[in-house]
């Protein structure tokens, strides 16, 4: 009777909390919230962060978790992951479901609670085969890290900046949207893809960008490109608000034409006017977040020199998004692997200080993605830029979530967000991982 009266006199939020499942409280911690570390608690229920002030006098926590003074932060978000643990999202077509399971469970234990499975340039048959398996899937102890939808990197990119992509798969779009439909299937883009990397200077691509955004509701990133600053700004104005692995596979910065790198100034400049789907300029007061340029950085100490990382960050700190761009050898020893159809050799890179391990296309000096983990990128980023712990962690949590437009539920510990949580030491090593409020350990992350 008392519970019934309480339910009738409370808000909808309170009713849901009172009637919901077990409540957990994390205490004795420093919580990353509101762009700072606060001495506070984190409460969650049914996989969501909840507001404890709604509970006063109604319910006590069913369990209390002592964080032992550690940092409590949102789970890491990797928006560019080609594969790991011997699996590749473009190569393992016949066992793509197993591929997703193995990678998702493995990266979860590293502190990455959500990610975009990434495909490299492939033939049309590959996209039609794998994309339906790489769409959005919630995180759990069974599923592993959440799939946020695929990132299709290519094949609409410039052969001059193909990187580790198979040049025979690259293509242009003289027929506009019809060529994208033939390549991926527009329904596959709508249903399974979070964002796409394209080179805007490739025939037909620039004009297709606003259509792809409006028709398929996906994000567009510029990369593997020799675009001039003018073309890059036109693509940004059309809605391409991301840059794929800044500095890698694009024209180097030049003071007379900075190319895509010049977009780092776009958020504070009227040079790149943003247009709506009909090509009409958006009023300045409506730009706000939509004008921000987000740029991926592979902070493994090989892909981008630490000084270049620092220059980019100092130029546009709010746009920095740490990515691994990891391939199938991540988490495994030196040896021979695949990135899509390209053979890859992993071993020490003698021309880099310290001879770190690197993945190279066999018989070349071309980097084939990385073998770094996302939390290693966070530590490297802080060392390279001398930024704060908060800034380093947000570059792998809040910023990628903002890039994908999901910052209300990912990359944050705000009330209502998913209870994807990590405990970190002051040296930024992962101590514990929760996915949707469940503790993830090698024993609890299921492989059945």
User: Catalytic amino acids?
Assistant: 325
Q: Around Cβ 2, how many Cβ atoms within 10 Å?
A: 6
Phi (first) and psi of residue 164, to 5 degrees: -90, 10
What CA–CA distance (Å, rounded) separates 241 from 233? Answer: 10
Q: Which of 402, 421, 412, 261 is nearest to 318 (CA)?
A: 402
Tokens encoding 224: 């593997």
Per the CB < 8 A criterion, the answer to whether 81 and 103 are in contact is yes
Per the CB < 8 A criterion, the answer to whether 82 and 41 are in contact is no
Question: Residue 28, preceding bond cis, omega within 30 degrees?
Answer: no
What CA–CA distance (Å, rounded) separates 164 from 443? Answer: 36
Q: Which of 194, 272, 193, 179 is nearest to 231 (CA)?
A: 272
Phi (first) and psi of residue 123, to 5 degrees: -80, 165
What CA–CA distance (Å, rounded) separates 420 from 437? Answer: 6
Per the CB < 8 A criterion, the answer to whether 380 and 300 are in contact is yes
**327 alpha-carbon distance from chain centroid:** 15
Per the CB < 8 A criterion, the answer to whether 151 and 127 are in contact is no
Q: Around Cβ 165, how many Cβ atoms within 10 Å?
A: 27
Q: Which of 205, 255, 195, 254 is nearest to 225 (CA)?
A: 205
Alpha-carbon separation of residue 353 from 306, 350, 356 (angstroms): 12, 8, 7
What CA–CA distance (Å, rounded) separates 266 from 260? Answer: 10
Instruction: State the maximum Cα–Cα separation within the chain, in Å, rounded to a whole number.
Output: 76
What CA–CA distance (Å, rounded) separates 246 from 152? Answer: 17
Per the CB < 8 A criterion, the answer to whether 238 and 304 are in contact is no
């Amino acid at each position: 009777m008392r519970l019934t009266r309480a339910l009738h006199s409370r808000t909808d939020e309170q009713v849901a909390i009172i009637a919901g499942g077990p409540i957990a409280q994390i205490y004795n911690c420093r919580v990353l919230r509101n762009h700072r570390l606060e001495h506070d608690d984190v409460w969650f229920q049914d996989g969501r962060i909840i507001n404890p002030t709604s509970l006063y006098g109604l319910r006590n926590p069913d369990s209390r978790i002592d964080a032992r003074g550690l940092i409590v932060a949102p789970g890491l978000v990797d928006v560019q992951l080609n594969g790991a643990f011997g699996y590749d999202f473009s190569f393992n077509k016949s066992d793509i479901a197993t591929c997703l399971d193995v990678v998702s469970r493995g990266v979860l234990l590293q502190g990455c609670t959500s990610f975009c499975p990434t495909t490299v340039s492939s033939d049309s048959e590959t996209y039609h085969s794998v994309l339906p398996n790489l769409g959005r899937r919630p995180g759990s102890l069974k599923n592993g890290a959440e799939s946020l939808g695929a990132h299709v990197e290519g094949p609409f990119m410039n052969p001059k900046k193909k990187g580790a992509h198979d040049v025979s798969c690259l293509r242009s779009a003289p027929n506009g949207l019809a060529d994208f439909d033939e390549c991926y299937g527009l329904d596959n883009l709508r249903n399974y893809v979070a964002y796409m990397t394209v080179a805007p200077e490739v025939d037909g691509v620039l004009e297709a960008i606003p259509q792809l955004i409006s028709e398929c509701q996906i994000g567009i990133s510029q990369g593997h490109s020799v675009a001039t600053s003018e073309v890059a700004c036109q693509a940004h104005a059309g809605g391409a608000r991301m840059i794929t692995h800044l500095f890698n596979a694009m024209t180097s910065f030049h003071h007379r034409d900075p190319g895509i790198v010049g977009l780092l100034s776009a958020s504070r400049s009227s040079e790149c006017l943003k247009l709506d789907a009909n090509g009409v300029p958006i009023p300045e007061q409506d730009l706000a977040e939509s004008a921000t340029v987000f740029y991926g950085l592979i902070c493994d100490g090989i892909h981008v020199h630490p000084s270049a990382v620092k220059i980019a960050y100092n130029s546009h700190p709010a746009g920095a998004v740490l990515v691994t761009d990891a391939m199938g050898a991540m988490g495994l020893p030196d040896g021979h692997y695949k990135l899509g159809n390209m053979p890859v050799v992993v071993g020490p890179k003698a021309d880099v200080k310290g001879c770190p391990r690197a993945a190279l296309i066999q018989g070349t000096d071309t980097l084939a993605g990385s073998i770094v983990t996302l939390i290693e990128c966070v530590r490297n980023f802080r060392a390279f830029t001398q930024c704060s712990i908060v800034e380093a962690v947000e570059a792998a949590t809040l910023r990628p979530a903002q890039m994908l437009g999901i910052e209300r539920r990912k990359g944050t510990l705000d009330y209502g967000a998913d209870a994807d949580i990590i405990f970190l030491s002051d040296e930024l090593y992962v101590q514990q991982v929760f996915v949707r409020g469940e503790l993830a350990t090698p024993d609890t992350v299921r492989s059945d």
